[in-house]
């Protein structure tokens, strides 16, 4: 990214306000925990890994202002901050994973003073931030091994540098292939209702000089039928133990179309997006968004007043439609019932390169 999606400098959290892109490039300082909560809720900062990083840094922002006489009081306030940030959005498990790391840091360091635990928590948030950058590069390197010298890839939503600390997951693979000199072209679904594909994916690919064509969501099957697509790569918000994958609404439709045309469909995601505590996609909580985002998207009324609206923000693609998961630990292939747990629980060096 020309300017990082998230900046943490001198204990100050600054984000790109993604609701303004691509028309305006605006950065925003998040000065309170409530600012961070609103930024996540309103998708000023969005994408599963970026949400996790923002929440962890949100804790670092919040603890700066805890005026506690002792650890008991500090801990109670810190837990309140963690629990509050956990209510911002329900589907991306990276949010809960990152907040859980913050909570464990608090609990595992009960012997530290108030000042010392403040430093330890801030350091942990910085670790989550920096690790995400390294993880996305690894995902890119692994994913690049799947990309032929010439390849056209369809993607849905935005799983790029804007959705992570840097570089992206699905787009990270595309950047890695592009940097390796491969001729990569991308079709980007516009991604109704909030247009992450049209506003964000095309914007960041164009900034990086990657060839990109914008299509309406309902054009995906047609370009597949026209033999224009070699591969689909998307990101994920939560992946169950059996490989069922929640991602932006419309991903399931893309997966069905890819399957019908024998086009491989890959999901690129860090280990932190896997939720091994749930057996299948049926257990993934799906966020529902306000009717207004559908009826009055970007301040233009496009439906009659009072119309009934159903707007789930995510859907679940069954594991059987997914050719593989591109993770920082390697590429995970079916049968997922075995391979996901095995891969995620082994040291990185043991995985397929």
Residue 314: which residues within 8 A CB-CB, separation 6 or more?
Answer: 91, 237, 246, 247, 248, 249, 251, 284, 286, 287
Q: In angstroms, what CA-CA distances link 350 with 145, 288, 343?
A: 17, 39, 8
Stretch that binds ligand MRU, among 30-38, 43-51, 109-117, 138-146 (CB under 6 A): 43-51
Q: Which of residues 190-209 bind ligand MRU (CB under 6 A)?
A: 196
Q: What's the residue count for the chain?
A: 353
Q: Which of residues 293-352 bind ligand MRU (CB under 6 A)?
A: 313
Compare residues 120 and 264 and give the one whose CB is closer to ligand MRU: 264
Tell me the two tokens of residue 7: 């900046």
Do the Cβ atoms of 184 and 174 come closer than 8 Å? yes
Compare residues 229 and 313 and give the one whose CB is closer to ligand MRU: 313
Compare residues 62 and 161 and give the one whose CB is closer to ligand MRU: 161
Compare residues 117 and 269 and give the one whose CB is closer to ligand MRU: 269
d(CA 147, CA 73): 53
d(CA 283, CA 351): 28
Question: Which residue has the closest beta carbon to ligand MRU?
Answer: 235
Residues facing 12 on adjacent strands: 9
Compare residues 314 and 336 and give the one whose CB is closer to ligand MRU: 314
Strands 274-275 and 238-240: parallel
Residue 230: active-site member:
no
Instruction: Verify binding: residue 48, ligand MRU, rule CB under 6 A.
Output: yes
Stretch that binds ligand MRU, among 46-54, 181-189, 205-213, 336-344 (CB under 6 A): 46-54
Residue 83: which residues within 8 A CB-CB, separation 6 or more?
Answer: none
Compare residues 247 and 323 and give the one whose CB is closer to ligand MRU: 247
Q: Shortest approach of ligand MRU to residue 65 CB, angstroms?
A: 27
DSSP-based three-state secondary structure for 310:
coil
Do the Cβ atoms of 281 and 314 come closer than 8 Å? no
Binding test (CB under 6 A) with ligand MRU, winner from 39, 82, 92, 184? 92
Binding test (CB under 6 A) with ligand MRU, winner from 16, 39, 49, 52? 49
Stretch that binds ligand MRU, among 30-38, 71-79, 162-170, 205-213 (CB under 6 A): 162-170
d(CA 232, CA 127): 31
Q: Shortest approach of ligand MRU to residue 255 CB, angstroms?
A: 13
Q: Which of residues 227-286 bind ligand MRU (CB under 6 A)?
A: 235-237, 247-248
Total of chain residues touching ligand MRU, rule CB under 6 A: 18
Residue 142: which residues within 8 A CB-CB, separation 6 or more?
Answer: 326, 327, 328, 330, 331, 353
Q: Shortest approach of ligand MRU to residue 342 CB, angstroms?
A: 23
* Sign of the dihedral through C-alpha 116, 117, 119, 124: positive
Instruction: Verify binding: residue 124, ligand MRU, rule CB under 6 A.
Output: no
Q: Shortest approach of ligand MRU to residue 321 CB, angstroms?
A: 16
Q: Shortest approach of ligand MRU to residue 49 CB, angstroms?
A: 5
Compare residues 8 and 167 and give the one whose CB is closer to ligand MRU: 167
Q: Among the options 75, 132, 166, 237, which is catalytic?
A: 237
- H helices within 199-344, ranges in order? 202-207, 220-225, 251-260, 292-295, 336-344
What residue ranges in 156-313 does DSSP mark as E strands? Answer: 183-189, 211-215, 231-234, 238-240, 245-248, 265-268, 274-275
Binding test (CB under 6 A) with ligand MRU, winner from 13, 54, 163, 173? 163
Active site residues: 237
The residues that touch ligand MRU, with contacts defined as CB under 6 A, are: 43, 46-49, 92, 157, 159, 163-164, 169, 196, 235-237, 247-248, 313
């Amino acid at each position: 990214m020309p300017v990082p999606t998230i900046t943490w400098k001198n204990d100050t959290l600054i984000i790109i306000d993604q609701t303004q892109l691509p028309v305006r490039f605006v950065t925003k300082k998040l000065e309170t925990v409530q600012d961070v909560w609103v930024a996540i809720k309103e998708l000023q900062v969005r994408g599963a890994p970026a949400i996790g990083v923002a929440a962890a840094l949100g804790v670092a922002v919040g603890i700066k202002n805890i005026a506690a006489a002792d650890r008991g009081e500090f801990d109670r306030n810190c837990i309140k901050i963690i629990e509050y940030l956990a209510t911002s959005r329900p589907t991306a498990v990276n949010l809960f994973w990152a907040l859980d790391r913050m909570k464990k840091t608090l609990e595992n360091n009960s012997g530290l003073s108030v000042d010392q635990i403040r430093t330890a928590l801030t350091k942990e948030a910085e670790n989550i931030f920096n690790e995400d950058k390294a993880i996305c590069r690894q995902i890119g390197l692994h994913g690049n091994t799947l990309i032929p010298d010439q390849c056209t890839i369809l993607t849905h939503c935005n799983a790029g540098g804007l959705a992570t600390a840097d570089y992206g997951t699905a787009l990270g693979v595309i950047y890695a292939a592009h940097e390796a000199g491969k001729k990569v072209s991308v079709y980007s679904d516009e991604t109704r209702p909030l247009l992450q594909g049209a506003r964000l994916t095309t914007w960041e690919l164009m900034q990086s000089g990657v060839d990109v064509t914008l299509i309406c969501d309902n054009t995906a099957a047609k370009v597949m039928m026209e033999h224009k697509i070699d591969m689909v790569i998307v990101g994920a918000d939560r992946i169950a133990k059996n490989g069922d994958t929640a991602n932006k609404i419309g991903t399931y439709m893309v997966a069905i179309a890819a399957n019908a045309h024998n086009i491989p469909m890959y999901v690129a995601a860090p280990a932190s997006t896997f939720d091994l505590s749930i057996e299948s996609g049926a257990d993934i909580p799906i966020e529902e968004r306000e009717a207004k985002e559908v009826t009055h998207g970007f301040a233009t009324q496009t439906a009659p007043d009072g119309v009934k609206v159903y707007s789930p923000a995510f859907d679940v693609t069954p594991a059987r439609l997914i050719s593989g998961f591109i993770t920082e630990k390697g590429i995970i292939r079916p049968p997922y019932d075995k391979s996901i747990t095995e891969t995620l629980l082994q040291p990185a060096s043991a995985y397929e390169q």
